[in-house]
């Protein structure tokens, strides 16, 4: 049974429900799922959650028949290693953990930063990309030249993302997105793709998140020349993108980390980064940003 490289976008309604998954195993915990290594024997696709509105990272056409981006290419390489077909489901920052825990997807590869809070409920393979946080503004706006200029502006971010929280911590009190500063100066939407129309029509003054995400928007034909990236990472913190998995699958995690390390060694990883994130590729490929997935 050969690997089939077709790309399909799965509809949420077509995926197993939590109630069905939990049958006969207690309502509070979904039934155990198969190891990823068993998918080939079962002739079942690898269900991968991706962002569908982030050019360069994960972007799908309206019909869902074609998806492109760094996360898509990483998923395809992992599926090849498993000798299965990837099926893509769109996710947003706020539902990634839930979809994994409910077994609606097998993996989430969706500009998904590894964090202590997330590690409490899921596991991660990787990292496969390391990116600093930057800011995107309208091309003609000269009032924003560095991150501290955002203190009196309105900045767009995605619900469930770490990026708005970092701004709230910098400017607000207490340290969350519910602070007085955040309520006035943050506009939270479902996905960063929803921020771009708001930026262009003047509803918000900036979008702040990972350089890798913003570089994709800046290079996209819809926005090229209309927006500009500051190229001023505003903290020493760097996001480490990981591959989200359910807890309790160390064999699967080791298999994916082994695949990622092989991709980094043989040059596939660098080619994928350059192909999808060309404007930011020099930063992302710098030695200090080279990811080192653990060898398990």
* Distance, CA of 36 to CA of 48 (rounded, Å): 12
Q: What does the pLDDT read at residue 107? A: 97
* Distance, CA of 180 to CA of 51 (rounded, Å): 30
The pTM (predicted TM-score) of the whole model is 0.81
Of 184, 199, 229, the last residue of a domain is 229
Give a yes or no: residue 296 inside a domain: no
Same domain, residue pair 13 and 156: no
Q: Which domain holds residue 68?
A: 8-130+240-289
Q: Give me the number of domains the chain comprises.
A: 2
Same domain, residue pair 34 and 123: yes
Q: What does the pLDDT read at residue 242? A: 98
Of 229, 260, 277, the last residue of a domain is 229
Give a yes or no: residue 255 inside a domain: yes
Give a yes or no: residue 225 inside a domain: yes
Q: What does the pLDDT read at residue 34? A: 58
pLDDT tens by residue, 28-73: 444 445 578 778 777 889 999 999 999 999 999 988 789 999 999 9
Give a yes or no: residue 2 inside a domain: no
Residues in the chain with pLDDT < 50? 1-6, 11-32
Strand partners, 108: 49, 244
Same domain, residue pair 126 and 257: yes
Give a yes or no: residue 3 inside a domain: no
Same domain, residue pair 247 and 123: yes
Same domain, residue pair 31 and 104: yes
Same domain, residue pair 63 and 108: yes
Cis peptide before 174 (omega within 30 of 0): yes
Q: Which residue has the tokens 């560095």?
A: 146
Q: What does the pLDDT read at residue 96? A: 96
Same domain, residue pair 60 and 27: yes
Q: Which residue has the tokens 């080791």?
A: 254
Helix-helix angle 70-82:250-266, to 10 degrees: 110
* Distance, CA of 161 to CA of 295 (rounded, Å): 28
Q: What does the pLDDT read at residue 129? A: 98
Same domain, residue pair 42 and 57: yes
Same domain, residue pair 14 and 106: yes
Same domain, residue pair 54 and 74: yes
pLDDT tens by residue, 88-116: 999 998 999 999 999 999 999 999 999 99
- Looking up residue 194, the CATH number of its domain turns out to be 3.40.190.10
Q: What does the pLDDT read at residue 235? A: 67
């Amino acid at each position: 049974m050969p690997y089939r490289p077709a790309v399909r976008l799965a509809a949420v309604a077509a995926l197993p429900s939590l109630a069905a998954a939990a049958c006969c195993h207690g309502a509070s915990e979904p039934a155990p799922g198969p190891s990823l290594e068993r998918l080939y024997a079962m002739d079942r696709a690898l269900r991968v959650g991706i962002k569908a509105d982030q050019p360069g990272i994960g972007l799908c056409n309206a019909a869902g028949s074609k998806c492109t981006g760094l996360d898509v290419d990483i998923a395809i390489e992992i599926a090849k290693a498993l000798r299965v077909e990837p099926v893509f489901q769109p996710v947003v920052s706020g539902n990634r953990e839930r979809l994994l825990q409910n077994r609606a997807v097998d993996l989430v590869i969706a500009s998904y930063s590894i964090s202590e809070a997330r590690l409490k409920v899921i596991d991660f393979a990787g990292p496969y990309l390391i990116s600093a946080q930057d800011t995107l503004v309208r091309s003609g706006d000269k009032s924003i030249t560095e991150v501290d200029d955002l203190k009196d502006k309105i900045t767009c971010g995605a619900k469930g993302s770490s990026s708005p929280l970092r701004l709230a911590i910098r400017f607000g009190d207490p340290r969350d997105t519910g602070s007085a500063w955040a309520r006035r100066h943050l506009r939270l939407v479902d996905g960063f793709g929803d921020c771009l129309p708001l930026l262009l029509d003047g509803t918000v003054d900036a979008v702040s998140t990972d350089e890798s995400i913003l570089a994709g928007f800046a290079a996209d034909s819809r926005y090229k020349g209309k927006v500009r990236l500051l190229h001023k990472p505003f903290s020493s913190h760097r996001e480490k993108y990981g591959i989200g998995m359910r807890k309790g699958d160390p064999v699967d995690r080791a298999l994916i980390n082994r695949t990622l390390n092989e991709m980094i060694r043989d040059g596939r990883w660098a080619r994928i980064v350059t192909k999808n994130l060309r404007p930011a590729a020099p930063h992302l490929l710098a030695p200090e940003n080279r990811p080192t997935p653990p060898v398990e």
